[in-house]
Amino acid sequence: MNVDICHSFHENPAPILKVEGLTVYQGDYLALREVSFELLPGTDIAIVGPNGAGKSTLVQAILGLIPSSAGNVEIFGLPQAHLGSLCHQIGYMPQNFIFDRSFPISVAELVGLGWVKPEKSKGLKTAFWQQNRIKSAAITQALQRVGAYRLRDRAIGNLSGGELRRVLLAYCLVMPRKLLVLDEAFAGVDAQGAADFYNLLNELKREENWAVLQVSHDIDMVSRHCDRVLCLNQTLVCTGTPDTALSPQNLLATYGPAFSRYQHKH
């Protein structure tokens, strides 16, 4: 086992996310056992592992979508349950964005659902038309930044997989976030679309100083684009830089002898 303790890219920054001893049971089944790690500002951590390893379970437990059995999760230095309005600073893209494709909602309307009136202005009397103008400008800027403004008036049911992922990223961009959580963000997207999305994500991460936690099956993309890797199989097998964590020995320990490295063909 090769465990590389996470080193800071900054001068002792406070972690955006701190997970300690997280354990999750699903009925009598032990889905996660004593997982611990930290995520620093401006850092992209990928969670890799075989099907059934608990990757999505880990993400959902961190976000409080499912209960944990033991351990602690702190986000922005606060216990998960005490985030309050700070939860709006978390953007989440689930593995399966399930919706009725016949539902009449446009791209702009979907992105607008991610906009929340800033806390500091809630006590101020702002005209309804002024609020709408601010919201509309935020929607426009978010769509422009992900290269999806041309889709503004299109029904979301008519989007391709890659287009939908860009729109969901715009949803996360429509107001300031500090933490972006992606659960298989590239599912259903072809190799070129995934590469384009990764490049866009890295650009936005630098501009916004996002901390990114993502689940991925694409070892090659992870090795090229992520800062750190968590190899997970119910418990944390190893963690480190891609060069360290994705060594043949660590991949074998994580996936077992049936593992075969997946590579995109370009």
pLDDT at residue number 123: 54
pLDDT at residue number 3: 46
Among 1-5, 57-61, 119-123, 253-257, which is the least confidently predicted range? 1-5
**Average per-residue pLDDT for the chain:** 86
Query: Phi then psi for 135, rounded to 5 degrees?
Result: -65, -45
16 — pLDDT class (breaks 50, 70, 90): very high
pLDDT at residue number 262: 43
pLDDT at residue number 191: 75
pLDDT at residue number 121: 55
What is the SS3 assignment for 6?
A: coil
pLDDT, tens only, 220-259: 889 988 999 999 999 999 999 999 999 999 999 999 886 7
- Whether the model clears a pTM of 0.75, i.e. scores above it, the answer is yes
Report the candidate in 101, 99, 130, 98 with the shortest Cα–Cα distance to residue 117.
130
Report the candidate in 260, 266, 88 with the shortest Cα–Cα distance to residue 178.
88
Q: Which residue has the higher pLDDT, 104 or 138?
A: 138
Residue 265 predicted with pLDDT over 50: no
- Residue whose pair of structure tokens reads 């890295």 in the numeric block: 202
pLDDT, tens only, 173-226: 898 889 999 998 776 667 777 788 788 888 888 888 889 999 998 898 899 889
Q: Which two tokens stand for residue 264?
A: 């995109």
pLDDT above 90 as % of the chain: 55
Our CA angle for 85, 230, 75, nearest 5°, is 15
Q: Which two tokens stand for residue 143?
A: 């769509």
Return the half-sphere exposure (C-beta side, CA atoms, 13 A cut-off) of residue 201: 33
Q: Which residue has the higher pLDDT, 260 or 41?
A: 41
Domains of the chain, first to last: 17-255 (3.40.50.300)
pLDDT above 70 as % of the chain: 86
Query: Phi then psi for 179, rounded to 5 degrees?
Result: -130, 130
DSSP state of 155: B
C-alpha to C-alpha distance for 82 and 90, rounded to whole angstroms: 14
pLDDT, tens only, 78-119: 999 899 889 989 999 887 776 777 788 999 999 999 888 766
DSSP state of 251: H
Query: What are 181's strand-pairing partners?
Result: 92, 213
Beta-carbon contacts of residue 228 (< 8 Å; ≥ 6 apart)? 6, 43, 44, 45, 46, 239, 240, 241, 242, 245
Q: Once rounded to an integer, what is the mean pLDDT over residues 57-70?
A: 95
C-alpha to C-alpha distance for 137 and 131, rounded to whole angstroms: 10
Our CA angle for 18, 20, 24, nearest 5°, is 115
Q: Which residue has the higher pLDDT, 33 or 265?
A: 33
C-alpha to C-alpha distance for 136 and 134, rounded to whole angstroms: 6
Among 14-28, 87-101, 143-157, which is the least confidently predicted range? 87-101
261 — pLDDT class (breaks 50, 70, 90): low
